[in-house]
Each structure stands twice: as structure tokens, then as C-alpha cells.
Structure 1
Amino acid sequence: MRKIKDLGEFGLLRELGLFGQKLPEGWIGPGDDCAIAPKSGGNLAITTDLLIEDIHFRLSTTGPRDLGWKAAAVNLSDLASMGARPLALTVGAALPKNLPFEWAEEFYKGLRECADRFDCVLAGGDTSSAEKICLSVTALGDMEGRSPLLRSGARENDDLWLSGEPGESAAGLLLLEKGLSGGKALEKCLRRHLCPEPRVELGLLLAERRLANSAIDVSDGVLADAGHISERSGLKVLVEAGKIPMSRELCACAAKSGADPFELALGGGEDYELLFTAPPKNREAILEIGKGLGLGVALVGKVEKGSGVSLLGEDGREMEPKRSGWSHF
């Protein structure tokens, strides 16, 4: 008997027949960060994410207000990768009956703070009881006439770009799990894990100015998410190890926790940065956007004929990563 853990997330969806299904004209279904539904005057982007107690968070290390922010932010990050402007959130919350009311109150404060930061309406949802906290947030975004940035849009000879500094969130999680604290570097990594900043403005500009061919938000890890672009586009993605940005804060936190910063940057996940491909002719414009947003954007690889993801060392030889990313099962 086959088990879900043997199939993995995408294998499960494939076996259930969700990939390649016939959809009404104008719809884009499973396989991207959002589904796309046609509406009058444009398209609607729709995404849903789950947060389950003791799988995605622990009450011992994550406060309710931070969890509320994160529950909204991870969905807004999906909208960002498609180039959609956030419109609304709906929230399903199954909570233990004996959970203090103050916990729920703080959780919804965090939700509203993130929604307000991105001019997004908290439009409704549902509640129920459960043995552990189970959260399901759905986000709606407006493409406003822009073409969505799909994982399948990469083209041969595209550059591979990465926003921000990956690995800090994974380092923050290690600090929480090990009960370590102290110093500005550690505090930055903790905040990157607990309160990620979705790159909505970057996604909007990339789509509006038609600078990128494909995009994905980095939730599973840089290498794993590069693999999703590769699979959907039918091309090989080369990631150059020496070009992956690694912050001083990441290195300090990794040293404190006994981890390899390089492995955290490539496979830690939950960065909620944007990984995207673009024609080489757009390099200057992309760097200018990053400068205008006060956000680092790094050219970290390229796309070529073939399949899969290759990690290249500074000598151009292929490397074998110790950690490839998050697995849902």
C-alpha cells in the first residue's frame, strides 16, 4: 500500500489528478503559488496556506501576535510571486476549547497588522474547535491587467535572481529550538523567522514592467524552489554557490547554533524572498528596482537546456548539497 509520505506534496497532487486537469478558459490551476481566475476587467489570484501547531509552529516559541502576522504574510508572499496586488484575506481557525481568549485576541491583532501593512481587507472566514491549533488562510489578489508570473515561464538563457538574504529565517528557528538569545544579529534572524516580510512591492514591479519571465516565493528553500521552476518550465536551473548572499547576521547565528550558514541559505526555507528568472537585458532595470526598494537583489545563476537543478561551486564543478529544502510529508 502506497503512503502519502512516499509520494510527497507534488506526487500526491499528481496522483490525485490535480495537475493537467481541464479548466475553464482563462483559469490557471495547481502548480503555481496561486490559482488564477478570470474576472471582469482582469484576473484574480487566489492562494491558501495551512499553519498547524507542532508542525509549522510551537506555542512554546511563537507568540500569538507573531503567528497572526506570519499567517497573513506567507499568503501575501504567494501573491507577491505572481505579481498580484493584495485585496483580501479570509481566515479559518480551529482552536482548542480551553485556549485563553487573550491568545485569540492577540492572534487577530497580528493578522490585522499585516493586512493593514499591505492594504488588504480581513474579509471573514470560519472557526471551529480542535485538539491543536489549525489555521487556514486564503488570500485574494488583483492582477490589475498584469500577466501573472508563473513557475512555467522560465526561458533558456534567463538569469536567475534572488531577493534578500536567505537562511536567516532558518537560523532564527534554530535559535528558538535551542533556546538561544542575545545580540542584534540573533534578534534579526528571530524576527525574520517569526515576522517575515512578503516582497509584494518587488513582485508588483517585476510584473508591471514585464522584467521577469517566471517567479516563485522561497518557502521550501532556494534549491527546492529552483527545482519547482525547473520542473514546470522544462529547463535546467544552475545555481552558483558563490553568488548566494549570506548576511553577517546569518553567519553569526549559524556559529552560535553550530549550523552551516551555507546549508541554511540554500535549504533552510521560510525565507519568503522571491526567486525569479529574467532575460539578461533586464539586469540594470532589476538592480535599479532593488535599489529603489532598499532591497538586495542578487544574480545567482542561470537557466539552460536540460532538467533539474545543479549547484555549482566557484570552480564551476557541480556540488552535492547536504540539505535540499523542506518536505511537507
Structure 2
Amino acid sequence: MSEMSNISSERNLLPPKSDLEANQTTPVEVVSSSELTTEEWSDRIFLERQVERAFYAAAKALKALRDRRLYRSTHATFEDYCRSRFGFTHRHVNYLIAGSLVVDNLMGTNGSQIENSDKTGTNGSQVENLDEMGTNGSQIENSDETGTNGSQILPTSERQVRPLVPLEPEQQRQAWQKAVELAGGKIPSGRIVQDIVDKIRERTKVPNPYRLGEVCTLLPKDNPELKGRSGCWGVITHVGDYSCTLETWDAEYTVKIEHLKSLELLDNDCQFMQQLCARLRRLHEIENRDIAVDWLCLGLGKQPLPYLSPLQEKLLADVEQEYGLR
């Protein structure tokens, strides 16, 4: 009897069955929400902007490295530095920097103003009309610090702005706006931009007065890519409708025809200068060359004369022999 009494007493200590059922853990189905939180929206906008501005940021960094000569502790020239550090050719670097100047023009900045793009989307980084794409199809409202008004669709790659480089600033803005319209309000491809530029050029076509093999000097004027190159001579290796490619002793430049001045040499003199340019370039291509080699090449590369003095020829020949080029 005592055992039965104890069992009955223990049963009485248990909670009612209804209470047990109520306290049972019920499995909860976790549903992944497609909606973004405010913080997630902010992160998305920030990351999208980094992607959109990747080429622009790289170009600005390269320009600063070049202008401040921050490569000088390890490399004799900026061209060597870019090739060694980044695997970039001189032409590619020129394309990037020239493209960034076009973007500056499209944004209405002078290149020295930096857009404040923080993750909160405030303080000069406001986003207009967020939709399913996160930034209204890449339309970003720029801050007053950039000197722009309203929302803009800006280039995201150098290829999109390359056709705009030879145009005047106002023509660049007009051509880009037209390309955006043709792209349905989205970022246009380089092909669309090129088509617009071709139409503009057809309306204002001026014959290119230069020819292959002609020797010209560079006129920097308002082209920052030619800074410090005034008076440098070179040989034209390509003639386009509105530009030429000029090969100097240390680089290659594709410039508008107004940045060139012909030396108006006779054919025999042009041939001499072509050969001299080739000799200087071979010296420049030598790795671990003495800095004195660049001094010699720089001096001759700014001397627009179709001959060398006896001493100049002797110095050049001695250097060539020193490096096994003769």
C-alpha cells in the first residue's frame, strides 16, 4: 500500500497534460527575407559605388604617383615603374589617366575635388530614388563637393570614355548625355559612345595634315598628360582622322593634331630623325641602365635638329658600345 501511495503522490506532482502540451517546443520555420535593412541598403550602395568608380580611382592614384614622382626610389621612370609594379603598358596608363579627366569633366570637377562617399549615404553622398537595383540603375546623386547637380550616370570603365578623349569638354558632355539616352537611361557601352563621337566628327571633320614618318614636337597646351614634354620631338607612327600617335625616345603618345607641331623636315632629314629615335629607344629599353643614359637620351630627345655634333655622336656611340648595341 505504501508503494502505491508513493506512486500516486508522485503522479500528483506532475503538471496537467494540457500544461505539458502547451510548454512543448514548437519548431519555427526560418524564412529568409528578401527585404534589405537600412544598414544593408547602405552597404550595398557603398559597394556598388566602389565597383563603379574602380577605374576612376585607379587612374587618380596613378596620376598622383606620376605627378609626385613617388616611384623614384625604385625606378628611373614612371613607365618602368608601371610595367614592373602593375604590368601596365605606358599606353594603358595614359588611357586610364586621360579617361579620368573626361570623368572629371562629366562631373563638373577640376580633378582636385574628391567625392565624399561614406557608407551611410550622408554628408555629400546622397542616393536618389532607390529601386530594386539599389541605386536607380547606377544613378547617383553627387554631392555639392563635386560641383555637380542632381543625379548623373557616370562611366564605369575606361573603354566607355576613350572615344570622348579627343573631343572638346563641351562636346564630351553632349556626347555622353546622348549616349546615355540611346542606352535607355543606363550606362552606355563603348560602342554606343563611339557611334555618337563618329557622328560629331563627321559634322566637324577637318583633314589631318600629318603623315606617317613625319617628325613633330609636342605642344602640351591644356593637355595635362603632356606636362613636362614641351619641345620633345618624335616620329608619327599612326595617323587617324583627328589624332596622331607620336613615338618619342621614351614613350608613345596619341594626341589631337593641335598638340603637334611639324618640324617640316626634308625626307632625308626625317629618315635621320627616325633612325636616331630608334637608337634612343633601344637604349631606353635596357634594364638597370645607368641614369646617365637617360640624361643623354633626354637631351637629344629635346633637340629638334636633323643632325648630331661630332661630340654628341661620339657620346651616343660610346654608350651604345658599352651596352653591346654596336
TM range (shorter): under 0.3
Bigger Rg, which one: 2
Name the one with the larger strand percent: 1
Name the one with the larger helix percent: 2
TM-score when scaled to structure 1? Answer: 0.24
Larger relative contact order (CA 8 Å, sep ≥ 6): 1
